[in-house]
């Protein structure tokens, strides 16, 4: 099951192979979404998925039966219906939208991307704005679940957003998406529990195999994040094109960890267990590290928290993932003009800053200079390395959607890790 930075419930450490096979069937959502759909262009072996890369960007296909909304219309009265991850937008931002545009906002949340895709596929629910991860965009487009955007209603996209994400490789011309927030996947630690110079290591991912930190080391309990660390340990960086040999090596590396460091697989390690002192070394999303300050117990010392993104600390010699989430208008939106108005509002520089102050995750806004975040009091100096720069999207690996066949290989390797061999 694919986890996301907003999925906050612990996941089971062990799972039977039969359960894993069921899970694999349940996560092959792309196949279900694609049933009966036409073809699209792209680099995927599945011609129905337009999967782009930095080297081979793609335009997502358009469909006659899902037209974009016409220009020059007034926003509908609402209410605006938003489908989002839980706790993934500042309530004050929603209130501000209602005050400015007079439309109430109703938010419905989902626990994971599989739940969201399955509910949207039924067509029995109608939402206006949806917040997918960029790597899953191709399946939603191929499933004809998204409405093409009319940029006449989105002046803040070109005005405010980093150029690389205003015209991203996965959706050239931003036909269906605008970016929401960014995050990298790196290493978080406490200097009072892990005195090593993690950021100075030739391969910082090796720290997870150091027996000195037995009992305090954690990885995300998510197949792609965890197995990627196993690949990076061996100098393998092609996480979007991993073959069977790469995944076997990643699997074998992770299988060393239970005996070596008594590894803990968690989903709340970075934002909760690390600041609480239950763990001292974790795989971490950058946004979770910025949130971690809020979870330090009363009287605790947040200055011991650190974060490193290996591609940055090694001049891109070592792998590490980076990604962003998106905002979209759904194909069956009852308030499509109002939905565009909302997306444009969230892309406003002041609104984006307000949202970041509550959310922790960083919007790719031109006006927000990461170098001033510490100076302006947004983040503590010891976590300045968790800030994402525009240039970071030219380093590391930007996650892309896996085909169902590729995902099956990853899940098989993960199931063996979960079973201990």
- Closest to 172 in 3D by CA, of 266, 63, 62: 62
Q: How confident is the model at residue 45 (pLDDT cuts 50, 70, 90)?
A: very low
Q: Which domain holds residue 260?
A: 183-321+401-419
Mean pLDDT within 226-234: 98
| Mean pLDDT, the chain, integer | 88
Shared domain check, 66 and 56: yes
Residues 220 and 341 in one domain: no
Give yes or no: residues 145 and 262 share one domain: no
Q: What is the pLDDT at residue 403?
A: 85
| CA neighbor of 338 nearest in space, from 147, 108, 113, 111 | 147
Q: Are 37 and 141 members of one domain?
A: yes
Residue 253 has pLDDT above 50, yes or no: yes
Q: How many domains does the chain have?
A: 2
The pLDDT of 378-387, averaged and rounded, is 92
In terms of domains, do 315 and 191 share one? yes
* % of the chain exceeding 70 in pLDDT: 89
What is the dihedral sign for C-alpha 274, 278, 283, 288? negative
* H helix runs in 314-383, sequence order: 336-346, 349-359
Asked if residue 163 belongs to a domain, the reply is yes
122 pLDDT higher than 90: no
Asked, as a colleague might, if the bond just before 79 is cis with ω within 30 of 0, I would say yes
The pLDDT-based confidence of 379 (bands split at 50, 70, 90) is confident
Split at pLDDT 50, 70, 90, the class of 15 is very low
Calculate mean pLDDT across residues 143-159: 97
Instruction: Say if 168 falls within a structural domain.
Output: yes
Rounded to whole angstroms, the Cα distance separating 189 from 180 reads: 27
Query: Which of 108-117, 234-243, 323-332 has the weakest average pLDDT?
Result: 108-117
Alpha-carbon distance values, 275 to 150, 297, 362 (Å): 43, 8, 20
| In a domain? residue 5 | no
| Lowest mean per-residue pLDDT among 1-5, 24-28, 176-180, 191-195 | 24-28
Ordered DSSP codes for 21-42: HHHHHHH-HHHHHHTT-----S
Whether 75 and 156 have beta carbons less than 8 Å apart is answered as: no
Question: Does 188 lie in the same domain as 177?
Answer: no
In eight-state DSSP terms, residue 363 is: P
Q: Which residue has the higher pLDDT, 155 or 294?
A: 155
CATH number for 350: 3.40.190.10
Helix (H) or strand (E) holding 81: strand 80-85
């Amino acid at each position: 099951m694919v986890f996301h930075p907003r999925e906050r419930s612990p996941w089971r450490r062990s799972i039977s192979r039969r359960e894993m096979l069921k899970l694999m069937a349940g996560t092959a959502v792309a196949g279900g979404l694609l049933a009966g759909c036409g073809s699209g262009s792209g680099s995927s072996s599945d011609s129905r998925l337009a999967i782009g890369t930095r080297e081979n960007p793609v335009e997502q296909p358009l469909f006659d039966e899902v037209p974009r909304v016409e220009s020059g219309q007034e926003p509908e009265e609402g209410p605006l219906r938003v489908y989002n991850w839980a706790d993934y937008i500042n309530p004050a931002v929603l209130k501000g939208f209602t005050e400015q545009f007079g439309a109430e906002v109703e938010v419905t949340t989902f626990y994971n991307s599989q739940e969201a895709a399955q509910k949207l596929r039924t067509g029995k629910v109608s939402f206006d704005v949806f917040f997918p991860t960029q790597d899953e965009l191709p399946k939603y487009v191929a499933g004809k679940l998204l409405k093409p955007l009319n940029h006449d209603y989105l002046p803040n996209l070109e005005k405010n957003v980093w150029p690389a994400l205003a015209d991203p490789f996965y959706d050239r011309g931003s036909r269906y998406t605008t970016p929401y927030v960014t995050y990298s996947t790196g290493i978080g630690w406490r200097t009072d529990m892990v005195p090593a110079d993690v950021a100075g290591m030739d391969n910082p991912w090796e720290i997870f195999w150091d027996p000195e930190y037995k009992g305090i080391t954690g990885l995300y309990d998510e197949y792609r994040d965890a197995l990627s660390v196993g690949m990076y340990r061996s100098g393998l960086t092609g996480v979007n094109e991993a073959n069977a040999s790469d995944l076997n090596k990643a699997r074998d590396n992770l299988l060393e960890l239970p005996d070596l460091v008594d590894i803990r697989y968690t989903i709340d390690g970075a934002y909760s267990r690390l600041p609480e002192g239950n763990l001292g070394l974790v795989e971490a999303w950058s946004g979770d590290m910025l949130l971690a300050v809020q979870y330090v117990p009363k009287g605790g010392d947040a200055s011991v928290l650190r974060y490193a993104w290996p591609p940055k600390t090694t001049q891109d010699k070592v792998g590490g993932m980076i990604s962003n989430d998106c905002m979209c208008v759904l194909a069956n939106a009852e308030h499509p003009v109002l939905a565009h108005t909302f997306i444009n509002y969230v892309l406003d520089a002041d609104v984006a800053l307000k949202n970041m102050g509550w959310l922790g995750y960083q919007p790719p806004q031109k006006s927000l200079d990461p170098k001033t975040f510490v100076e302006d009091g947004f983040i503590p100096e010891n976590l300045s390395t968790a800030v994402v720069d525009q240039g970071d999207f030219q380093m590391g690996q930007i996650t892309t959607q896996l085909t169902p066949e590729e995902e099956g290989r990853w899940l098989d390797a993960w199931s063996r890790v979960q079973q201990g061999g």
